[in-house]
Structure 1
Amino acid sequence: MSGALPASFAIDAATARVRLDQHDPAFVADPYVAFAATRALGPAFFWEDHRLWCFTEAEAVNALLRDRRLGREILHVATREELGMPEEPAHTRPFYDLDRLTMLSREPPAHTRLRTLVNRAFVSRQIERLRPRIATLCHRLIDGFEAAGSVDLIAAFATPIPVTIIAEMMGVPVDMAPQLLDWSHRMVAMYQFGRSTETELSAVAATEAFVGFLRGYVAERRGAPADDLISVLIAAEADGERLSEDELIASCILLLNAGHEATVHSIGNAVKAILESGLDTAGWFARPGGPEAVAEEALRFDPPLHLFQRYVLEPCEIAGIAFSKGDSLGLLLGAANRDAARFADPDRFDPARPVRPHLAFGAGIHFCIGAPLARLELEVALPILFERLPRLALAGAPRYRDSWHFHGLERLDVAW
């Protein structure tokens, strides 16, 4: 770690309570310093700013991601009245009406049905066959900026790769990418703490526009199926059940939003880590299994998603903390991936470290369905970038986006 503790950070060891402003510039730039400082409190701390118990240790986070006493939804086992949970503001309902239809926001049996249908469609695409297309795209992007000698790598390389690939997979025009990105950014902002009414209204408008756009393509594919994800989802069937049109649209939007946002951050964070570590890229990318080892270490070292929340589905005690039905707790994936109890010298970027499972993609029934594609994009993009630009170096201080609980770069200036 090279950063300093955020100025807003304050800790009460007696009560395991922490104050920390997620917008503190030091935390935005390097949250791992604050995460490390909480480890003396044990497996969890209470984040006062968000009224949330947060777990940081790899063993605990891994176990809780699989714990069926916890879930992504709560209203399937309790009423709002029972929990004292207020109704959603009327102006946010179009967003949540869609969000509730995704497998990410459901628990079994609804989750099982949705994941089975979407997984069959997604896996049946045989992700590995996308390798040549991803490679061609990476080369084309580099061709476009190589002569300049310097570039913001987030805008010129990390962003276009995942949105182009997912647009092509879905069968929507690639020239719609800027609009898809705009809708995605505005919708994903709903998952951040402390959002404003303006952010909520923007997300709802993006949701309605995105849904309207996809309805046209779904109608078109029903009459004329093509070799794309929308057509496969329309045809997907398990035990006689299919996705409803609204579920199909919600699934497409989830795949774009989650896949794009996370993969942009994964590529940017990986390049930054490689450059700052001084890794012998020529050596690593030439050896068998080298690209995979570098990609996995990058995902562990600086993952794109740092928080996954769960509801408590039944009264229980976890790590000596009593939870009531309906309580919410936070699982800090970023902190767990830097836990020295699982990863020796965790703040060092080291692709040679012994292989141990990281938690960048979560675990349990909500393990990221797009993990194979995200891994493939990293394994293809990183070697091509460093082979084409062997003198690649940082040309300015990397700048992280203030969008926690995501952790990714807003700008990465490089030169060669």
Structure 2
Amino acid sequence: MTDIVESAETSTLLDELTRMPGREDPYPRYHRLREISPLVRAEDGALVATRYADCAAITRDPRLGHMPSHMLDFVSPGWNDHPALRQLFTSILTINPPDHTRLRRLVSSSFTARRVQALRPTITQMVDDLLDEMSGETDFVTAFAFPLPVNVIGELLGIPPADRAQFQHLVRDWTQVLEQINPAVLETADPAAATIRAYLSDLAADRRSAPRDDLISALVLAEEDGEKLTEDELLTMAGLLFAAGFETTTNLLANSLVALLHNPDQLALLRDKPEIAREAVDELLRYDTPVQLLTRVAWEDVEIGGIAVSGGDRIVAYLGAGNRDPQRFPDPDRLDLTRPDNGPLSFGGGIHYCLGAPLARMEAEIAVPALVRRFPELRLAGDPVRRNSLTLRGYTSLPVNTGS
């Protein structure tokens, strides 16, 4: 057994990740943290893991879970009075078994592989339509990376096309609480979360009276072993699926394009061999993952990376760091779309493995090869603007020139 490291250097590295430019390029800091120790302690007491094997184990170990309500009351007093926190902390993203098991079973009965695969022709057409509208200098986030996934998840859920665009800023305001929780953040996050919930409440009421072939209707009707989603569970689930359905995929598409433009040999390879799309998306997910970290709590004494962890300790698994671990990925800072034995941590693992992973993968596998084929002269037209966030890593603006 070795000791948990807490030093001036680790504090400095972790502090830099909370600010720009540390968030612009966190990977050198991840490398240094990984060299220092399997686990380091942050100033707030949380333990930080940066090695692939440890991060993978953290996502799967049943002795590690999400923060129970009595701990939430201590860490975020009054959380239940804030719509933004209540809808996050009671969602399938952050609850534990047995409630998580029941909700996941009910949602999985509606959010099926068949329903996702049925969207493939629709996604292909959406991609073509958006590419048809791109010409000359444009912002890739505004023109493509946001409208594609928001329309895909909107189509899946049954949100009318005219209503979808309003949710970009609402979801971004709400998901600020994933990064930090303070009065200033809650001042914008709470009304955003309340607006989203009110909209979905009206939509669910409409589907109860007149069901359609969409996921909202399926969730309204979902039943297994005599159990159904309560109204509160339904609205919380629909809000999470909608927000996660486009926020992370928008980041995946933008991160992928920047990575390819900075590695023209790999961009040319994908253009010439679109059949490697699945392997390419795995590598793009690994290289600059849209979700950089997740948090767990030890429910009992455990061992991580040869270090004893006490029950009650909070643990942060830096998935983005694990995805650049040289012990798992040779030459990890190199983008290699044909990398063998890939296995990125980007969708988490265990019982909380991302429900929407197959949909996000399919969108990227269709969209990215089509984009680079359509615009062989595609290039940056200015400096991309990173969002000021580490947990959700992406861009707020990505100016490009299509060359057409």
> In which range does the TM-score fall when normalised by the shorter chain?
over 0.9
Match of residue 139 from structure 2:
152
Report the aligned-residue RMSD.
2.1
Partners of 1:282 and 1:387 within 8 A in 2? no
Q: CA deviation at 1:285?
A: 4.6
Secondary structure of the structure 2 residue equivalent to 1:329: strand
Match of residue 292 from structure 1:
278
For 2:353 and 2:76, the matched residues in 1 are separated by 29
Matched, 1:34 2:12: no
Match of residue 292 from structure 2:
306
Q: 1:129 to 1:16 in 2, by over 3 A?
A: same
Match of residue 59 from structure 1:
53
Q: CA deviation at 1:383?
A: 1.3
1:283-334 CA-to-partner distances (Å, cap 9, x unmatched) read 4355474111111110010000111000121233433544343321100000
Match of residue 6 from structure 1:
none
Match of residue 409 from structure 1:
395
Higher mean alpha-carbon deviation, 167-176 vs 318-327, is at 318-327
Report 1:137-176 matches (<5 A): 137-146=126-135, 149-176=136-163
For 1:24 and 1:204, the matched residues in 2 are separated by 24
1:114-168 CA-to-partner distances (Å, cap 9, x unmatched) read 011111211155312211111211121122222xx12111111101111111111
Q: TM-score by structure 2 length?
A: 0.92
For 1:44 and 1:369, the matched residues in 2 are separated by 28
Higher mean alpha-carbon deviation, 364-373 vs 89-98, is at 89-98
AA in 2 matched with 1:122: F
How many residue pairs get aligned? The number is: 396
Q: 1:336 to 1:279 in 2, by over 3 A?
A: same
Partners of 1:312 and 1:325 within 8 A in 2? yes
Report 1:201-220 matches (<5 A): 201-220=187-206
Matched, 1:70 2:64: yes
AA in 2 matched with 1:402: N
The percentage of counterpart residues that share the same residue type is 36
The runs of 5 or more residues in structure 2 that have no matched partner are none
Secondary structure of the structure 1 residue equivalent to 2:152: helix
Match of residue 24 from structure 1:
19
Report 1:179-328 matches (<5 A): 179-193=166-180, 195-281=181-267, 283-287=269-273, 289-328=275-314
1:336-371 CA-to-partner distances (Å, cap 9, x unmatched) read 000011111000000111122110001111000000
Matched, 1:45 2:31: no
Match of residue 132 from structure 1:
121
For 1:151 and 1:15, the matched residues in 2 are separated by 44
Q: CA deviation at 1:376?
A: 0.4
Q: TM-score by structure 1 length?
A: 0.89
Q: CA deviation at 1:398?
A: 2.3
Q: CA deviation at 1:280?
A: 4.8
Higher mean alpha-carbon deviation, 272-281 vs 352-361, is at 272-281
Q: CA deviation at 1:87?
A: 6.0
1:198-235 CA-to-partner distances (Å, cap 9, x unmatched) read 21022111121111111111111111110111101111
The runs of 5 or more residues in structure 1 that have no matched partner are 1-11
